[in-house]
C-alpha cells in the first residue's frame, strides 16, 4: 500500500525533486504524510483517481491506487486524502 502511494508521488515529480515522508501523531491516531513537489492532480480527475483502470500513463495497469483505497477502506479507521 505504501509502495503504491510513494510510487505514484514519485511518478508525478520532476527529476531531481525531493520526496518527504513523515508521521504525525495526534491524540487518537497517526497521520502518514507523503509529499512530493510534482504536478497537482487536475481538479476534474480528483473523483476518478481511485477508480480501477483510471490512468494518465501510457503503460500502467492503473490498479495501484484502487487497491490501496480498498485496503484503507477495509480498515475503517483510515482515509486517503489528497491535495
Cell readout for 33 is 504524510
Dist. CA 43–CA 71, nearest whole Å: 24
Dist. CA 66–CA 8, nearest whole Å: 12
Q: Are 4 and 68 in contact (CB under 8 A)?
A: yes
Cell 480527475 -> residue: 45
- pTM to 2 decimal places: 0.61
2: enclosing H helix or E strand: helix 2-11
Cell 497521520 -> residue: 31
CATH numbers and ranges of domains, the chain:
2-74 (3.30.565.10)
More reliable by pLDDT, 77 or 46: 46
More reliable by pLDDT, 10 or 66: 10
Report whether pLDDT(10) > 70: yes
Amino acid at each position: 500500500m505504501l509502495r503504491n502511494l510513494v510510487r505514484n508521488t514519485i511518478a508525478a515529480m520532476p527529476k531531481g525533486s525531493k520526496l518527504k515522508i513523515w508521521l504525525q501523531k495526534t491524540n487518537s491516531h497517526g497521520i502518514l504524510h507523503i509529499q512530493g513537489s510534482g504536478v497537482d492532480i487536475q481538479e476534474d480527475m480528483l473523483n476518478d483517481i481511485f477508480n480501477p483502470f483510471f490512468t494518465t500513463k501510457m503503460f500502467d495497469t492503473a490498479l495501484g491506487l484502487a487497491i490501496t483505497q480498498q485496503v484503507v477502506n477495509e480498515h475503517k479507521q483510515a482515509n486517503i486524502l489528497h491535495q
